[in-house]
Amino acid sequence: MSAARMTGEVETALAAAAIPRDRWGNERTRRLGGGERLLYQWILRSFAAGAVPEADALAAAAAGFDLDVEQALATLAREDLVHRDPATGAILIAYPFSAKPRGHRVLINGARWVEAMCAIDALGIAPMLNLPVEVVSRDPLSGGEVWVRIDPGDGAWWEPSAAVVLAASACCAGPSFRSCCDLLNFFEAGEHALRYLVAHPEITGHAISLPQAIEAGATVFANALKEV
C-alpha cells in the first residue's frame, strides 16, 4: 500500500473517529499560550512517568510557568486536552492518558504501566515519547486479548495477526471522551468489529488495520511534546 493511499485512509479513519485536524500533532496546542503549552506537556510527562499529578504539584508547576492553575486548566479543558473530575478536581484525562482504568494498558519502555483513553491513544504513546511500548487490551465482543508492541524506528508487531481497531463515534460534537473514546477499541478480527457495529446502530464508523491505527496514533500525538 502506498504512503499516499495509507494517509488518505488514515484521514478517513480519524474523521470517522471524530478527531478533527485541529487535534492532530502541533495543531493540538496551537491555540495555547507558551505557559499553557508547557503545563500541558508537564502533565503528559507526569502521566508518562506513572504518576497522576496531584493538586499541590500541579499548582506549583503552573506557578513556575507564570500561570494561574485554575485558569490554565479551564483553557486546557476548553481545548479538549485535559479534564478533571467535577466533584474532586482531580485530573482524570490528559489525552492520551487516563487516570482510571479504561481497558487499554500500556507498558512504557518495559518499566511502567499507564492507562490510555482508547486504542488510538494507546498507539500514539510510543511516537509521542519516542520509546518502545507494549499495549494490552481486549476485544469488547469476544473478550479475547489483543497485544501490540511498537518500537520507534524498528517496527511494530501484534497478536492476533488479524486484529483491527474500530474507528467510530456516536456524535461529532463535544470532547473526545464523550463522542468517541469509549468506541475506539481493539478487536481480534474485522468480523468482530462489524458484528459490534451491527449490534450498535447508534455508532458510525469502520474497522481499520493495525498499521493504519498506528499511523493514526502517530498523526495525533507524535508532536505533542515537541516545541512549536
Average pLDDT, the chain: 90
* pLDDT average, residue stretch 18-35: 88
114 forms beta bridges with: 106
Global pTM reads: 0.91
Pull the grid cell for residue 137. Answer: 487490551
Residue finishing a domain among 98, 120, 150:
98
pLDDT at 178 (0 to 100): 59
Q: Do the Cβ atoms of 187 and 194 come closer than 8 Å?
A: no
Tell me how far apart the alpha carbons of residues 109 and 203 are, in angstroms, rounded to a whole number.
35
Do 130 and 217 lie in one domain? The reply is yes
> How distant, in Å, are the alpha carbons of 23, 31, 77, 100 from that of 81?
9, 11, 6, 16
Do 80 and 153 lie in one domain? The reply is no
Q: Do the Cβ atoms of 111 and 132 come closer than 8 Å?
A: no
Query: What confidence category does residue 20 fall into, taking pLDDT thresholds of 50, 70 and 90?
Result: confident
pLDDT at 175 (0 to 100): 60
DSSP strands (E only) in 160-203: 164-169, 186-187
Do 93 and 107 lie in one domain? The reply is no
Q: Do the Cβ atoms of 91 and 68 come closer than 8 Å?
A: no
Do 134 and 215 lie in one domain? The reply is yes
Do 87 and 195 lie in one domain? The reply is no
Residues spanned by the domain of 39: 27-98
Highest mean pLDDT among 24-28, 51-55, 205-209: 205-209
pLDDT at 41 (0 to 100): 96
Query: Number of structural domains, the chain?
Result: 2
The residue with greater pLDDT, 17 or 40, is 40
Q: Is the pLDDT assigned to residue 195 strictly greater than 80?
A: yes
Do 80 and 140 lie in one domain? The reply is no
